[in-house]
Amino acid sequence: MHQLTLAEIARGLADKQFSAEELTRNLLARIAQLDPQLNSFITVTADQAIAQAQTADARRAAGESSALLGAPIAHKDLFCTQDVLTTCGSKILSGFKAPYNATVVEKLAAAGTVTLGKLNMDEFAMGSANESSHFGAVKNPWDLTRVPGGSSGGSAAAVAARLLPAATGTDTGGSIRQPAALTNLTGIKPTYGRVSRWGMIAYASSLDQGGPLARTAEDCALMLQAMAGFDAKDSTSVDQPVDDYLAALSQPLAGLRIGLPKEYFGTGLDARIGEKVMAVVDELKKLGATVKDISLPNMQHAIPAYYVIAPAEASSNLSRFDGVRFGYRCENPVNLEDLYKRSRGEGFGAEVKRRIMVGTYALSAGYYDAYYLKAQKIRRLIKNDFVAAFHDVDVILGPTTPNLAWKLGEKNNDPVAAYLEDIYTITANLAGIPGLSMPAGFVDGLPVGVQLLGNYFQEGRLLNVAHQYQQVTDWHTQAPAGF
């Protein structure tokens, strides 16, 4: 049962081939057996999951037939989940149990999903390797000596290892798409505002967006259909009807216009990954697509702009973690200032401290105009590049990552090298457009991902292209040895 996709599980439950409880118990046993190798879960909610599965079986017996009814998933551990530990991978929230459900959690629960637990992540979603978690690094199931990508690395590793069919993630600068690429999954970051951020503990509020990771575009469509939609509780949520993502999957690709940015294929890209990208282009041409060379001239400024804007917002968002209202508090503070300093100093990890300090500096008097305001102007230029490109093409295609999954610890002493791994993904967050990564083959036994970028609210188009590609290839069906 663990090899079934989400869509196959939906059909199996509908046909009474197995029950939700049987499936849940099977996966919980796999998690207990295999996750110690991966460290993908922070919390396993076994009793709750079995109770939810039994409820789902009762609902199906009463005549309900929702596709996700009884489907097992898990949440990245920054989605607030009522009465369940919600840590953001940080010591500072190591004992925090959320008093309410995030909107994403609520929507998926209403669809009937069974929650197996909460998944490991880079601390406060800051990282590209899932090595900054207070609860330890997550391992890549394709090679346990390598990183799975971050910050949604726990979600990616668990799905890739067949511990569950799908999981939620969040993407601030590539944190769904990059781990999807490094673990042979499909993952989609929706348009900013398409999925509610209410109850999703913030890293950078103007960049964060929730989305699904799964093995296929069809599974991502099933998940996103339930996750997306307007939420009055989120002031950044967009009040626009949600497309029928499943109906979009079957559309032919004849006439699809693909843009290939020249900036994606220069120095810094592993040539072997470039070859895999062009092989995907050839397959899409066979399906009726046409290809055009384009330019995104301001992409070269994306990394410095992002690493001013995101830390600045993190500095503001993380100021609430002060040792007073919730979370970790230092021992025996001598006064209020000592309480603040030691609670934050002891509670936050090195990468989070680094970004808080960078962000605070960028927002400080005398530097705001020089750094933060200039970064926002560059952000607008990057958005304008995409707006211009989408006059001529329907989707933009390129590599998801410049390199294969690297060894655990390899980039720990060089944060900038890790930041550069996001070069192809962060522009989508700065512009607010949707992006998807899909499996495109292997190099030296390690997965390669190809990224698709679309115009605003064109998630259906990205899922359609990925699904049609997955009908003529089998990369997405391959599982890591031992899992």
- pLDDT tens figures, 132-178: 999 999 999 999 999 999 999 999 999 999 999 999 999 999 999 99
Residue 341 has what pLDDT? 95
- Write out pLDDT tens, residues 407-419: 999 998 888 888 8
Per-residue pLDDT for 214 more than 90?
A: yes
Q: Using 50, 70 and 90 to split pLDDT, how confident is the model at 342? A: very high
Within-domain flag for 112: yes
Positive or negative, the CA dihedral 253, 257, 263, 267 is positive
Residue 414 has what pLDDT? 86
The count of other CB atoms within 10 Å of the CB of residue 319 is 12
Place of tokens 């295999």: 34
Per-residue pLDDT for 476 more than 90?
A: yes
- Token pair, residue 291, equals 């290809």
Residue 326 has what pLDDT? 85
Report, as an integer, the average pLDDT of 268-281.
97
Report, as an integer, the average pLDDT of 403-409.
96
Q: Which of 19, 40, 66, 76 is catalytic?
A: 76
Q: Taking every pair of C-alpha atoms in the chain, what is the biggest distance, in angstroms?
A: 70
Looking at the 3D structure of the chain, how many domains does it have? Answer: 1
Report, as an integer, the average pLDDT of 438-451.
98
Within-domain flag for 202: yes
Within-domain flag for 369: no
- The residue type of 391 is H
Within-domain flag for 121: yes
Provide the pairing of β-strand 435-443 with 186-189.
antiparallel
Per-residue pLDDT for 376 more than 90?
A: yes
Place of tokens 């967006």: 209
Looking up residue 242, the CATH number of its domain turns out to be 3.90.1300.10
Within-domain flag for 405: no
- The residue type of 178 is Q
Within-domain flag for 128: yes
Provide φ and ψ at 146, rounded to 5°: -120, 165
Which one is predicted more confidently, 368 or 220?
220
Range of the domain at 19: 6-257+460-477
Residue 246 has what pLDDT? 97
Q: At what angle do helices 302-317 and 350-363 cross, to 10 degrees?
A: 100
Active site residue 19: no
Active site residue 292: no
The count of other CB atoms within 10 Å of the CB of residue 32 is 13
Beta-strand runs (E) in 39-189: 41-44, 72-76, 114-119, 166-170, 186-189
In the chain, count H helices and then E strands: 16, 11
d(CA 171, CA 178): 9
Q: Which of 415, 297, 303, 291 is nearest to 353 (CA)?
A: 415
Within-domain flag for 266: no
Beta-strand runs (E) in 16-128: 41-44, 72-76, 114-119
Per-residue pLDDT for 266 more than 90?
A: no
Q: Which residues of 376-403 are buried (b: 16+ CB within 10 A; e: fewer)?
A: eebbeebbebbeebbeebbbbbbbbbbb
Write down the mean pLDDT value for the chain: 96
Q: How far is CA 161 from the centre of its chain?
A: 16
Residue 417 has what pLDDT? 86
- Write out pLDDT tens, residues 277-326: 999 999 999 999 999 999 999 999 999 999 999 999 999 999 999 999 88
Q: How far is CA 139 from the centre of its chain?
A: 16
Provide the pairing of β-strand 186-189 with 114-119.
unpaired
Within-domain flag for 347: no
Q: Which of 175, 237, 343, 437 is catalytic?
A: 175
Q: Which of 66, 132, 133, 151 is catalytic?
A: 151
Active site residue 91: no
- Token pair, residue 343, equals 């609670």
Per-residue DSSP letter, 79: B
